[in-house]
Structure 1
Amino acid sequence: MGHALITAGTSGLGRMVTEAFLRAGHSVTTTYRNNYDKANEVKNELAAYRDSLSIVQADVTKKHDIGNLVNEAVKNYGGIDYLINNAGPFIFERKKLLDYTEDEWHDMIGGNLDAVFYLLKLTIPFMREQHFGRIINYGFQGANSASGWLYRSAFAAAKSGLVSLTKTIAFEEAEYQITSNMVCPGNIVGEMKESRIAESRKQHDDSTPIGRPGTGEDIARTILFLCDKDSDMITGSIFEITGGLDVINRYR
């Protein structure tokens, strides 16, 4: 079994990913940014895995925090086999580019693109040494074609750049048996981010062609599959997990 570094894995779409890796027998280092109470709640919920779980406070927009995070993971578990870049700031207010402040722009680019650069620089050496590694980045529906996303210019720009980086790393690191892929969640909102598929099937969602809302478990199952040692032929790929919903154009 290996060690997974999962950013922002105590809440939202990262919560079920953390649990999935633990249940599969892996150890996990994950992070929270501000919500200590939520992180502690998750720690208690996953008490059965206390020896395999480390939760670290970290802000991925800060290079220093990223360095401390990787050092903590390596100190506790010896290396990193899986890098799951789940964390990344998002501005929920819908506004055009000219209404963004410089700080908001830099947070979007820094947290969603620069942070991945720093994490790759720090973790790939461990993966190269062992000739194995799995990298998963998060995008958005349509990112593969660099779709414009009205009112989400900074976020879309960062994630579209991350698409290219995801593919480039796949090419560059293939000789070391390191894969790099991206998952693009659909419109998974509210409590469904931390819900299971079984709960989702009890609800009908008219807006999603598949007929049910997406869940955090949908994302976790996909990521766990892509991280399997026998999934090495899948690299440089972008996976949309939307249930057939056109997320971007739905809001235009």
Structure 2
Amino acid sequence: MAQPKTVVITGAGSGIGAAAARRFTASGLNVLACDIDNAALSKLGAEIPAERLETLCIDIAQDNAADTIAQASQRRWGPTQILVNNAGIAPKYNGVALNILDMTMDEWNRILYVNLTSSMRLCQRLLPAMKEAGWGRIINVSSSGGRTRSLGPVGPAYMASKAGLLGLTRHIAIELGPFGITANAVAPGRIATPLGATTGAAVAEDYAKRVPVGRIGTPDEVAAAITFLATEDASFINGSVIDVNGGMFML
């Protein structure tokens, strides 16, 4: 009997990451759920059988975070086959992000590191084992704000980081595709998550009125796209972006 595949998910304590963890474990995969919020991880751990879930409370912005995550996964289940880079921040001040004229370098660097650089470092750490095995999946959670104009107050650093994540995805798809590894992204629109809630209910209500399906999305709807990209059915999808936005942005 084949050993279940192992998935590492960052930002897995709530929202999209937690929904993905539930879906993967329900399908029989092992999940290392990483998040800075230990209380949220504990809540997730109470919902999922212990034999399928390992939680790791960690700040993804730490220099040694990628090594710590890889080692935790290796100790429990062995090499990681699937990486979901979902951790992200979009700091708000009185419900609004800093604009381009107010952006400080500290704020810029912090957002870019959490949303983009940490994903690159985790890829660097986990891809060699995938390459050796001849199979792997990288799934990056971008945003409609990385694809087109943002309708929410997310700020320039957030949009730049999410656009950069799409570029990183394409590069990995080109470089590692010959070794049985695919890299794809999902680009959620407005989703009912704790991060999205930082802009306030009024923004969500206004956004919902402009979405063709007439509502904002759920974390599980994004998680469905994520888990699909990790399957064999998605083996010829590489370097792509799945827009999960209710029709708000169409190519």
Q: TM (normalized to structure 2)?
A: 0.86
1:134-173 equivalence runs, <5 A: 134-141=137-144, 143-144=146-147, 147=149, 152-173=155-176
CA contact (8 A) 1:192 1:213 kept: no
- The amino acid that maps onto 2:181 is I
Q: How many residues align?
A: 232
Q: Greater CA deviation, 36-45 or 77-86?
A: 36-45
Cα RMSD of the aligned pairs, angstroms, is 2.1
Q: Residues 19, 219 of structure 1: CA spacing in aligned structure 2 closer, same or farther, 3 A cutoff?
A: same
- The amino acid that maps onto 2:58 is A
Separation of aligned partners in 2, 1:45 and 1:8: 17
Separation of aligned partners in 1, 2:110 and 2:128: 27
The CA deviation string for residues 22-44 of structure 1, in whole angstroms up to 9 with x for no partner, is 001000001120x3222111111
C-alpha deviation, 1:183, in angstroms: 0.3
Asked if residue 52 in structure 1 is aligned to residue 55 in structure 2, the reply is no
Separation of aligned partners in 1, 2:195 and 2:110: 26
C-alpha deviation, 1:142, in angstroms: 5.3
CA contact (8 A) 1:82 1:227 kept: yes
CA contact (8 A) 1:97 1:151 kept: no
The CA deviation string for residues 159-197 of structure 1, in whole angstroms up to 9 with x for no partner, is 11111110010010011110000101111124798xxxx
More helix by share: 1
2:9 equivalent among 6, 9, 21: 6
C-alpha deviation, 1:245, in angstroms: 2.0
Q: Percent identity?
A: 29
The CA deviation string for residues 192-224 of structure 1, in whole angstroms up to 9 with x for no partner, is 98xxxxxxxxxxx54321134311111111111
Separation of aligned partners in 2, 1:81 and 1:13: 20
In structure 2, stretches of 5+ residues that fail to align are: 197-207
Asked if residue 86 in structure 1 is aligned to residue 89 in structure 2, the reply is no
Separation of aligned partners in 1, 2:81 and 2:213: 34
1:207 equivalent among 198, 205, 210: 210
SS at match of 2:40: helix
Separation of aligned partners in 2, 1:3 and 1:190: 25
Q: TM (normalized to structure 1)?
A: 0.86
C-alpha deviation, 1:67, in angstroms: 1.3
- The amino acid that maps onto 1:219 is V
Separation of aligned partners in 1, 2:133 and 2:211: 42
Separation of aligned partners in 1, 2:186 and 2:47: 26
C-alpha deviation, 1:246, in angstroms: 4.7
- The amino acid that maps onto 1:89 is I
The CA deviation string for residues 41-98 of structure 1, in whole angstroms up to 9 with x for no partner, is 111122xx20111000111111212211111111111010100000022123233122
SS at match of 1:97: coil
Separation of aligned partners in 1, 2:193 and 2:170: 31
- The amino acid that maps onto 2:59 is D
In structure 1, stretches of 5+ residues that fail to align are: 194-204, 248-252
Asked if residue 188 in structure 1 is aligned to residue 191 in structure 2, the reply is yes
